[in-house]
Structure 1
Amino acid sequence: MNETEQFNNDDVKVQIQHEPAWPTVLGVIGIVWASIGILASGCAFFLTPEMVASWMPEEEQEKMLAEFGQSSGFDIGLQIVDLILAALLLWGSICLIRRLSGSRRLLNIWAMVSVLLTVIFTPVAIMEQLEAHKAAESQAAEVQPDESAEAETEEVAEANGGTSQMPEISDEATTAITVVSGACSGVVGLILPIIILCFINSSSGRRTIDSWQ
């Protein structure tokens, strides 16, 4: 082995030793996350309430559609956007593992769009849940229980030494639970995009990615 070959081999060894591990870690996490997203978005896109109802007997189709509703154009559009974002994350994560410089642009687009959509649609989802809860309460208030059935239930409960009434949750508690759970869901959705943005846009991350082909 001549001196030139030995010098080149030493350079390769030094480069391997100083190669950071975060691209591989983030790439694997991104591939797993994207695969789950593609599976979930694909199932939601193809297994619509209308399609599921078409597999059921005719007498149960109307009940199914009345309970779950029909997919609107807005819902279908969101599912398509989720599917595209999941595919973009998968592509960017594969490029990140392969040490391709184009991965930074792909992941930047995915992360920024994901953060924007999460910030916009998290409050919208919370408001929809609150409105659905109010609508359910209004429907329940319109239904008057049968007095004889209610009296019979109370007698059975007293005979068993218990009570037939479930503890009621106040409207304030229900609102607080809905808001907190929705906010937590939004925060969870922001974790991976923010982590990826921090790594690929840091000074060391930029130098690492710029050194790739």
Structure 2
Amino acid sequence: MGLNIQTYNSRLVFKLTLIVFFSFMYTLFVSAQKPAKIKLLRADDLRYDKKLGNKVQRLIGDVMLQHDSTILYADSAYLYELTNSFKGFGNVRIKASDTLNIYSDLLDYNGNTKIAELEYNVRLEDPRATLYTDHLWYDRNSKIAYYLTGGRIVDSANVLTSKRGYYYTDSSKAYFRYDVELENEKYVMNTDTMLYYTDTEISYFLGPTYITSDENL
């Protein structure tokens, strides 16, 4: 499939800034509401360890928890009842919906803010694309997953890498910033800022763009 390229002006940058800002404000608003408690569904072993603090459950083996409609899995975990938070270790999985799953080696999840921080071998999968990074935040309020220290998104046509990336899991939109590279069978493109739609595979380049292909070598 050919690559569709369009260039936008500063109004799109302003619009994207507003989207990120209002997503952040919405997260603060939701966090101020009375949060649901994280529920333990299963674990092979459960212990209370006073060394870890007051009302901290140590969960070992086949751990499964639930927070609202989201299911959390790990090999072992700490469940902090007082702060309504959860730390998972090994084979971590967040089942955010029937089609959205996030995997990692380590997870810090805050049930009050509904924000998950995942580290090491992070992989986000949905029907449109797969995101890879070593450090990812996922905001359940805004449905935005983002990385700040490098990552890539792979779909049926393109591989996109960048230093920072914001993936809107409830739509087909991804926003990339700094050292952005888009690669497919025909092109390699480098730019500073890009908006990409995984459903149409259309890219909007918001700054100087350099294109390399077999035709211009």
TM-score by length of 1: 0.25
Q: Answer 1 or 2: which has greater strand percent.
A: 2
* Greater fraction helix: 1
- Structure whose CA Rg is larger: 1
TM-score by structure 2 length? 0.24
Q: Which has the higher contact order (CA 8 A, sep 6+)?
A: 1
